[in-house]
Structure 1
Amino acid sequence: MLLGDGMDRRSLAHEILSQLPLAQQTAAWGTLGTIKPYLGFDVESDVQHLTEAIVGNGADHGAILDVLTNRTSAQRQQITKVFQALTKQGMGTDEDALTEILSTRSNQQLREILAFYQQDFKADPEKDIALETSGWFKEILLALAKGKRERDTGIIDYALIQQDAEALADPGASSEGAGERTWISIFTQRSPEHLSRVFSQYRKSHGLEVEETICKRFRGDGQMAMLALASACRNTPRYFAEKLHNAVKGPGTDDKVLIRVLVSRSETDLLSIRSEFKKCHGKSLYSCLQVETRGDYQAALLALCRAEDL
């Protein structure tokens, strides 16, 4: 049975499990997420059910979906650790996922993710980033990985807004690459709320959106990362709504993006993402998933999405 374009049944559980460390570890109660803590959680029992469901001649898709779509991130990460120890299945990532995670997580969440990475792979994540990337893309990711983004205090600093807007417009030329490093520093250290105001001031003062200048200053993966940062800072739910829309539009679906976003945002702001999706595209995320996916793969995604938006 086909589970979706590019997704066979054997990879379903592994693909969802591979995204679990990327999910935010925020309590579901009182948030705009769709997943809440599973009462009576028993990690050993869940791992046993998953193992029994996956091995053998045919996968028990219902059992897999029941476990993976009804546990919180914290609960699923416990399952992942035990499941990995039994099956020896490692986890990977890609440039898009790396950019997304480092661009949209809080300092605390980044510390937890990087600590999990170091514990699981017995490797320094920053060294691995440096080895596997290059150029401005590497500098952006390393700056984000340091987790030095300022928190929003609720106080609007108009002087700093003007200062940052001017720094982006004229970052100086004392050394080669000084301008790009100024952009990276501001984009990776200021709070999203502050940056949104800086973007508005930049447009007001210089008649340009920051995205226009990014496209002139940066190329390749560096440009992609800076544009992702700008989009996430302007409106995080809309940023994820666009990623989901891009994943389902056109021929085929980007299965990894669909799973990663739905899993990682299901406890925090998936309701807001659903709302932005409907607002921007005139149809609900739930309906799109019904049309673009099928079988047990579809059932897994719909269980995470939870409901139709009328």
Structure 2
Amino acid sequence: MVRSLWNVSWVCVRVRLNKVPANLLVSFTNHLMKMALVSEFLTKLTLSYGGEREPKCPTVVPAFDFNPEEDAAKIETAIKTKGVDEQTIIDILTKRCCSQRSEIVFEYEKRAKKDLVSALKGALSGSLEHLIVGLMKSTAQYDASEIKSSMKGLGTDEESLNEVLCSRNKEELMEIKKVYREMFKKELEKDISGDTSGDVAKLLLALVQAKREEPSSVVDYEKIDNDARALYDAGVKRKGTDVTTWITIFSERSVPHLQKVFERYKRYSPYDIKESIKKEVKGDLEKSFLTLVECLENKHLYFASRLNDSMKSKSVKEKVVTRIIVSRCEVDLMKIRSEFKRNFGKSLHQTISEHTKGDYQKALLNLCGGDD
């Protein structure tokens, strides 16, 4: 771009070269060059916009002055203590990032000659055990474990399966598939096919294939309109639902594109996209589509709503609370906290304090990272 603008400016200058003072000519040329550089910079900025990774907003960050040998020694003592010193275990492991916890594992096993995760399982119990053991995995390993757990035994925990598969981005899904293969010596797609069926299986498998397009700096209004109309034609407009078309659009288009499609959809349909889903499909497929749309519209609000629903009654759904807090504390829990406070009037920290107790509560609050 700099070269092309320079060529244009030189042609223009040559037309009346003899009539322009030298100092003005130099000044004018320098000005054109600066404009060209600025233009080139802005062009690059525009082209990269929307295509970059979503910035992380974690609540758990690397600890300052980290000493893995010292942490490992303290944890060994805490486990050996009569009655177990849960507070020390919580204070260390919930305030270290994943890579630091890995170093602690290495140092512990070097000094104690035993596996730290096994030692923690023997020392802890209940919800606290599940939370702390979950922290000893990477985010992808934890997600893979939760997916495997949701398909274990009689019946499938579709709610948990939907939560993980519908909310993870393309990069996260590809990493989960890789880690799942390493951990369980099976392909994730094969296990989903064996544990789900029909259109639900088709939707989940389409998500796991991770074909979602990357966001673009160019807004394709024609494609937005075509997709909105296709969703309407495949559902509300006709008798019966062309689920395949819905699955293709929902699983392959970029998130910003789909957000615009959902807005455009209202031009064609008397119902918004969620109302259309409720009218067109039922049961597990309805739940899967609704979860996916909620994540596409506002993933952080989806997680905040899940947390709020899990702590509404006296019987807290600790499994759901643990999974969201553990899986998102090093990703975007800060954004989830903001959505929680904005939509439900109380902070996540306050809600956890009111609905949980004991060591489990202490661990959750540490991972939550403060009050809002």
TM over 0.5: yes
Alignment partner, residue 189 of structure 1: 252
**Matching of residue 70 in structure 1 with residue 95 in structure 2:** yes
Amino acid at match of 1:113: I
Distance 1:211 1:306, change over 3 A: same
Q: CA deviation at 1:100?
A: 1.6
Amino acid at match of 1:132: D
1:237-256 matches, cutoff 5 A? 237-256=300-319
Give the TM-score normalised by the residue count of structure 1.
Answer: 0.79
Q: 2:279 aligns with which of 191, 216, 221?
A: 216
Distance in 1 between residues matched to 2:336 and 2:206, nearest whole Å: 27
Percentage identity across aligned positions? 39
Alignment partner, residue 166 of structure 1: 229
Q: CA deviation at 1:196?
A: 0.8
1:290-305 matches, cutoff 5 A? 290-305=353-368
Q: Which runs of 5+ in 1 are unaligned?
A: 1-26
Conservation of the 8 A alpha-carbon contact between 1:180 and 1:217: no
Give 3-state SS (helix, strand or coil) of 1:204's partner.
coil
Alignment partner, residue 97 of structure 1: 160
Distance in 2 between residues matched to 1:263 and 1:210, nearest whole Å: 31
Amino acid at match of 1:162: D
Q: Which runs of 5+ in 2 are unaligned?
A: 1-52, 107-114, 123-132, 135-144, 151-157
Amino acid at match of 2:149: T
Alignment partner, residue 37 of structure 1: 62
Distance in 2 between residues matched to 1:183 and 1:80, nearest whole Å: 45
Distance in 1 between residues matched to 2:294 and 2:345, nearest whole Å: 20
Q: CA deviation at 1:67?
A: 3.5
Give 3-state SS (helix, strand or coil) of 1:93's partner.
helix
Further displaced range: 294-303 or 117-126? 117-126
Distance 1:116 1:209, change over 3 A: same
Distance in 2 between residues matched to 1:77 and 1:143, nearest whole Å: 33
Conservation of the 8 A alpha-carbon contact between 1:47 and 1:83: no
CA shift digits 1:196-249 (9 cap, x unpaired) = 111111113212111111112222222111101100111111111101101100
Distance 1:146 1:228, change over 3 A: same
Alignment partner, residue 324 of structure 2: 261
**Matching of residue 112 in structure 1 with residue 168 in structure 2:** no
Q: 2:352 aligns with which of 289, 299, 302?
A: 289
Amino acid at match of 1:248: M
Tell me the matched-pair count: 279
Distance in 2 between residues matched to 1:177 and 1:143, nearest whole Å: 21
Distance in 1 between residues matched to 2:324 and 2:317, nearest whole Å: 11
Distance in 1 between residues matched to 2:169 and 2:72, nearest whole Å: 30
Root-mean-square deviation (CA, aligned residues, Å) is 3.1
Q: CA deviation at 1:266?
A: 1.4
Give 3-state SS (helix, strand or coil) of 2:61's partner.
coil
CA shift digits 1:70-99 (9 cap, x unpaired) = 232455578789655887999443232321
Q: Decide which structure has greater helix share.
A: 2
**Matching of residue 59 in structure 1 with residue 122 in structure 2:** no
Alignment partner, residue 23 of structure 2: none
Give 3-state SS (helix, strand or coil) of 1:207's partner.
coil
Distance 1:49 1:212, change over 3 A: farther
Larger Rg: 2
Conservation of the 8 A alpha-carbon contact between 2:240 and 2:280: no
Give the TM-score normalised by the residue count of structure 2.
Answer: 0.67
Alignment partner, residue 15 of structure 2: none
Higher relative contact order, chain-length normalized (CA < 8 Å, sep 6+): 1
Amino acid at match of 2:88: A
